Amino acid sequence: MSYIVQTDGLTKTIQGKDLVQDINIHVKKGEIYGFLGPNGAGKTTVMKLITNLWKPSKGTITLFGRPLTAKSYDVYKRMGSIIEFPTFYENLSSRENLKLHCAYMGYHHPSGITSVLELLHIADAADKPVRNYSLGMKQRLGIARAILCKPELLILDEPINGLDPAGIKQIRNLLKTLCTEYGTTMIVSSHILSEVESIADTIGIIAGGKLLQEIPMQEIIEMNAAYIELKTSNLNYTACLLADKLQLTNFKVMDDAAIRIYDKNCSPQQISDLLAQHQIAIHTIYTKADTLEDYFLKLTTEGMPYADFN
Amino acid sequence: MLTLIKLEWQKHRIVTYMRNAFILAALLCLFIFAMDFLGIANDPDTGVPDTAPGMNHISATIELFANMSFLVFTGVMLSTFLISPYRNGTIHLMFSYPIKRQKILAAQMLAVWIFNLAALVITKLLLYSCVQLGSQFMVPAFVSDFDMTSYRFYLQLILKSAVLVSMGFIALYAGMATLSSKVTIVTSFLLIFLTQANIGDITLSNYAAVPLLLTVISVLFAFLSLYRAETKDLP
């Protein structure tokens, strides 16, 4: 398997303290990699190391199949990033900021600036100085700049910071579109876990400077599919059918006229097909799964009395 | 490199600095004219300029005030172009471009150096022209000791200006080490006192070797500001 981003034993030590230690992350082409961790876990440190703003104390980083060194300048042409918070030349307008960005990146596509400003809904304020922008507008402009030169790899540190719910939805859709239509690979960190959950293909969980787990999102969903809850018009008959026709044993009839099925090999589809055949009306049927947040909390707070999840 | 320098000027709205340099030059012209022809520096009793030894020549006065003003101007610009990006975070953006970091920093330094050299040379030419023109109609209080028809005058003017502006790199190094604009500007002031002030009739600017030494030191400090830029972590 070839990866767009791969780190091997990545360690950063400052003044004798390990900020991150032995980090091994693997980001596949065209996927969205959700990078999660409590405050101070080391997410931004890893992102700074990947973008070469900081140099590793130990370990290696491989980007696009090539080791990242102090002289890897060409790789920046293929990357867009926001680390911590986007910074601009505040006395210039957003259009001027983006023009400068294009000039430094060696990217010549004048209409691209207008398109990206429209895409991020900041075209109306394009000629106003950035110092007059709200936090949300600056965040949008930061994303506009990061995607302007059509990067193959996007590294976004808390990209939805300061955005309103509509803005969050818009950015979520934008990131999904970039990933599906343009094949852009992304590493996205966020403290809003439900946002990462809805877009990420793979999750990397970091705490205390160590990568606790790197796992496909689908696997988390499957692992946390705790039970199927079912409410029908005839609960006893339903229970008999489940035992008789589907040979289920691992289920329980609850007091409030519901059945919980804990058998992982049984799907809601099978159950609804069976009940339809026997003309039993289904009131509700759903899979009750732990959210990514539950999983994250379970993993990062093991043995810890308290953790700050912002 | 030229493109990078132009981008620096564009980024920092060089037109604003041009306007400020013009205002500074105009004020200096007014001040020197008032000293030389309106007698504001004259001793009321003797009627001659009340100056330190050796400063009764107009070229020394012009050089002193122009150098003082533009060394501070250079310090301010260097801090805006090179120190502020570290403080406001735009250096993260600059170092995410596919350009060698040392080249980016060198372009920033050259953008300031070229601008200030040009501004200082033009200001000095304006000041000398002002004195030259005034002396056609009025009696100067200071001794006129320059010859604007000689090529040596222009050569010296350019070289002295280049040495002065380069001294800003010493202040820059101090500012870069502490990431402080204030340190850069204060160091510029200290350099003025070190090079232009006098104790009795002794002043460093009287020694021919001093400009050469200062240039060497300035280049060394400019190099030190760039050294390790490629491998150093950003704050």
- The answer on pLDDT for B210 being more than 90 is no
Confidence (pLDDT) at B228: 76
Confidence (pLDDT) at B124: 92
Residue-wise pLDDT for A150-187, tens only, equals 888 989 888 887 778 887 888 888 888 888 888 889 99
In single-letter form, the type of residue at position B197 comes to A
Task: With beta carbons less than 8 A apart as the criterion, state whether B170 and B215 touch.
Answer: no
Residue-wise pLDDT for A258-272, tens only, equals 888 877 778 888 888
Q: Using a CB–CB cutoff of 8 Å, tell me whether B234 touches chain A.
A: yes
pLDDT above 70: percentage of residues in chain B: 88
- The answer on pLDDT for A310 being more than 60 is no
Question: Within 13 Å and on the Cβ side, how many CA atoms surround B84?
Answer: 15
What's the alpha-carbon Rg for chain A, to the nearest Å? 24
User: How far apart are alpha carbons B218 and B230 in whole angstroms?
Assistant: 21
Mutate to test the interface with B, among A14, A48, A64, A89 (most CBs of B within 10 A): A89
- Out of A55, A71, A76, the one facing B96 most closely (by C-beta) is A76
Residue B156 CA from chain centroid, whole number? 15
Residue-wise pLDDT for A68-106, tens only, equals 888 888 888 889 888 888 889 988 999 999 999 999 988
Per the CB < 8 Å rule, is A53 touching B10? no
- The answer on pLDDT for B227 being more than 80 is no
Q: Using a CB–CB cutoff of 8 Å, tell me whether B94 touches chain A.
A: yes
User: Where are chain B's structural domains?
Assistant: 2-226
For residue B94, the chain A residue with the least C-alpha distance is A104
Residue B61 CA from chain centroid, whole number? 15
Residue-wise pLDDT for B8-33, tens only, equals 998 988 999 999 999 999 999 998 88
Confidence (pLDDT) at A289: 66
What is the SS3 assignment for B142? coil
Q: Give A75's contacts (C-beta < 8 A, 6+ positions apart).
A: A63, A64, A66, A68, B98
Tell me the shortest Cα–Cα distance from A51 to chain B, in angstroms: 7
| The CATH number of the domain covering residues in A3-215 | 3.40.50.300
Per the CB < 8 Å rule, is B7 touching A104? yes
Residue-wise pLDDT for A270-299, tens only, equals 888 888 888 888 888 887 766 677 777 777
Task: With beta carbons less than 8 A apart as the criterion, state whether A141 and A120 touch.
Answer: yes
- How many angstroms separate the Cα of B28 from the Cα of each of A189, B36, B69? 55, 12, 9
Sheet holding A282-289, edge to edge: A251-253, A259-261, A225-232, A282-289
Confidence (pLDDT) at B220: 83
Q: Which helix (H) or strand (E) holds A17?
A: strand A17-23
User: How far apart are alpha carbons A228 and B30 in whole angstroms?
Assistant: 89
Residue A184 CA from chain centroid, whole number? 14
pLDDT confidence tier of residue B123, bands split at 50, 70 and 90? very high
Q: Give B132's contacts (C-beta < 8 A, 6+ positions apart).
A: B148
Highest-pLDDT range among A235-244, B15-24, B37-46, B197-206:
B15-24
Residue-wise pLDDT for A198-223, tens only, equals 788 888 888 888 888 888 887 777 77
- Out of A55, A81, A89, the one facing B231 most closely (by C-beta) is A55
Confidence (pLDDT) at A266: 80
Tell me the shortest Cα–Cα distance from A265 to chain B, in angstroms: 49
Architecture of domain A225-289: 2-Layer Sandwich (3.30)
Interface size between A and B, measured as CB pairs under 8 A: 56
Residue-wise pLDDT for B58-80, tens only, equals 888 888 889 889 988 998 898 88
Confidence (pLDDT) at A85: 83
Question: Within 13 Å and on the Cβ side, how many CA atoms surround A264?
Answer: 7
Q: Using a CB–CB cutoff of 8 Å, tell me whether A264 touches chain B.
A: no
Residue-wise pLDDT for B136-183, tens only, equals 888 777 778 878 888 888 998 898 888 888 888 888 888 888 888 888
The ranges of chain A annotated as CATH 3.30.70 are 225-289
pLDDT, chain B, mean: 83
- The answer on pLDDT for A303 being more than 70 is no
Per the CB < 8 Å rule, is A104 touching B13? no
Residue-wise pLDDT for A97-115, tens only, equals 999 999 998 888 878 888 8
Residue-wise pLDDT for A10-59, tens only, equals 898 888 888 888 889 999 988 999 888 888 888 889 999 998 888 899 89
- pTM higher than 0.80, yes or no? no
